[in-house]
Structure 1
């Protein structure tokens, strides 16, 4: 997409970045900037929120965002992405969740948990992965889900959404991107089913549609429901932009309030958009602009926004209604306020001398921990050190996870 640069002045900042956005359900987000979902791994290892996690989202709320998304929140302990994930189920520590919801919602911000299920990407030390179809690849194996497994999903998501609402969160996002379970259903590379949950675009989308309907029935008409969906898997044989666009058309007929466009997967060996050094701008704005021609639901794009000018241009052009920033806000939790001031100021992204697989992700995860501990000024890790600390923390959490959920995990 060729994008015209919009000159920044006080009027533009107020009318573009600072303009409130009314969602279809009637809820109003105070501006056009969101903190993207990131897996913070700050849960207590038993699926519960922690004071550090509450402080992290409090900082983004104080920093001026309209919306923060908590990445990888599970509705069951069976299939986590990491053992530091939150779990929303009847055994959740409601008081801890209420503290997280309250502190992450100050100054008019919204805080939504991103409801997910890792499927084939479930964390092996504490899970036995299942996906739409059985896989036996060199670096990835999982069992296929039965019809009964699939039919249980809408209720699981709905129950988690209801807990989120009762705890005081402002909305929820359904995670159907980045190669996790619902994204796996959408991709012909990983969904090889020939029944009603596979084959055609409509069949692959069916379970997502059922999840949306169940969540809406649970939370009511005035509670925001967003969805994150891939524009492409960026894998040969995976979800194509053409099929993804058809799915946007299906979404337009649902009660979704905000569509978050992203792309890529975390499958072993897959290219990571966020780790790309070749991209000079936002990754999915062109797809988002085309999607806006076939839906009236507000659209947000996640990935590659590094400067205020990019955000202003994307919104001013009509390509998106909101921009979602992850790593930029990990580097500067006050970024939204900075972008709304005339002085501005973009995040300074680090350059690394090495590039071990998973190193950049681990570095940013540990950066989130530093923010949560109000210790970012002393944060000075190289990628290898970040990976070592990150992996050690996961191992510690696994012990707690097994103690809390061991009986459940063994029954899989």
Structure 2
């Protein structure tokens, strides 16, 4: 029986009227379980089924692309008019078992699109170690809000319960927010008002397209953690500008996957990463707040919600270690032990968790966790194998 005194397991009514059954959401990750052709695989469908059965309120599928030429990885999903709708409907159905919801994260990798299958383009041209990209034309930028909206409508029509607009972690919309990525001289660059313009236009277009009763979340960096980049004071101004625009849940995270940068999720810190920023955000918005990153114990998650600092906790890697964690916490059965990695290479920890997700989706996980080096090799080789499948489906980058 779920303890009635637990703030984590109280329902939450979003501004659009949709009710989350509790305060735990599986935050978006690039699960890399698409079939290599942009469609859901059977393992991916099973993965979200298992998360739903584990007791969470909702899962968010990371990096669902509306354009196959700006993908983050060849394991991404691509939702267009040519997608395998039957598989997407199976995925939507699996994710709503046990009273859960399944939302799509609307993605566009922009400058960090995967070069073997994509055409990297960001707000501005860049040529720096590890990253080369062109600049989006004004016409291409102005077409983006309608493109995001079209993907959102397709997801709604196929049975998904909500969408999240991805404006964090160094992907396209967060690139527009960052003065490191965005040096445009037109109306989409320069001051913060110009740099946030595209984000606001995408939000308005998506909300108008899906209607007032469909959940629309937005993931925003508190900071991109790069010197000279997007900082907390700017993020608070973006939060204030988003207030009143129909966002049902503001998902606060941070960091970037810019080559060589340290991911916030790789931090060695012992607690949630962005709770203090959430406290600051409360002063400028009435939107429900979700914080993603660093929740490793039930006590920390409980405190964040019970204190009123956040409305929802976003869990990612914790739910890779055990997809049944919400049910475990509901019965006060203890916390997880997180693996420790000694001197991991760039991308190795992400690869390790991705391959663990594969094990869960294929119902073959064991207590013996994958070896880091073997996981990295499997992760890289799988992407290489998928590149040919992707190009066969979508054509050259």
Whether these two folds match at TM > 0.5 is yes
Residues 380, 338 of structure 1: CA spacing in aligned structure 2 closer, same or farther, 3 A cutoff? closer
Residues 201-240 of structure 1: matches in 2 within 5 Å? 201-240=192-231
Alignment correspondent of 1:18: 9
Post-superposition CA distance 1:11-68 (Å, at most 9, x none): 431xx01111111111010000011111111111111011111100000100000010
Which residue of the other structure, out of 296, 321, 326, is the alignment partner of 1:306? 296
Alignment correspondent of 2:135: 144
Unaligned runs of 5+ in 2: none
SS at structure 2 position matched to 1:124: coil
Alignment correspondent of 1:282: 272
Which residue of the other structure, out of 304, 307, 326, is the alignment partner of 1:317? 307
Counterpart contact for 1:261–1:288, Cα < 8 Å: yes
- Cα distance in 2 for partners of 1:158, 1:137 equals 32
Alignment correspondent of 2:380: 391
The Cα of 1:404 is off from its aligned counterpart by 0.3
The Cα of 1:10 is off from its aligned counterpart by 3.4
Counterpart contact for 1:118–1:180, Cα < 8 Å: yes
Alignment pair present for 1:250 and 2:241: yes
Greater shift, 243-252 or 199-208, is seen at 199-208
The Cα of 1:216 is off from its aligned counterpart by 1.3
Counterpart contact for 2:148–2:202, Cα < 8 Å: yes
Unaligned runs of 5+ in 1: 1-8
Q: When the two structures are superposed, what TM-score results if normalisation uses the length of structure 2? A: 0.98
The Cα of 1:316 is off from its aligned counterpart by 1.2
Which residue of the other structure, out of 24, 32, 35, is the alignment partner of 1:33? 24
- Cα distance in 1 for partners of 2:218, 2:138 equals 23
Alignment correspondent of 1:5: none
Counterpart contact for 1:44–1:84, Cα < 8 Å: yes
- Cα distance in 2 for partners of 1:234, 1:268 equals 13
- Cα distance in 1 for partners of 2:209, 2:333 equals 41
SS at structure 2 position matched to 1:395: helix
The Cα of 1:379 is off from its aligned counterpart by 5.2
Alignment pair present for 1:351 and 2:344: no
Alignment correspondent of 1:163: 154
The Cα of 1:354 is off from its aligned counterpart by 4.1
Residues 113-124 of structure 1: matches in 2 within 5 Å? 113-124=104-115
Residues 73-88 of structure 1: matches in 2 within 5 Å? 73-88=64-79
Counterpart contact for 2:260–2:346, Cα < 8 Å: no
What number of residue pairs does the alignment pair up?
396
The Cα of 1:381 is off from its aligned counterpart by 2.1
Q: When the two structures are superposed, what TM-score results if normalisation uses the length of structure 1? A: 0.94
Counterpart contact for 1:25–1:222, Cα < 8 Å: yes
Residues 320-331 of structure 1: matches in 2 within 5 Å? 320-331=310-321
The Cα of 1:150 is off from its aligned counterpart by 0.2
Counterpart contact for 2:93–2:159, Cα < 8 Å: yes
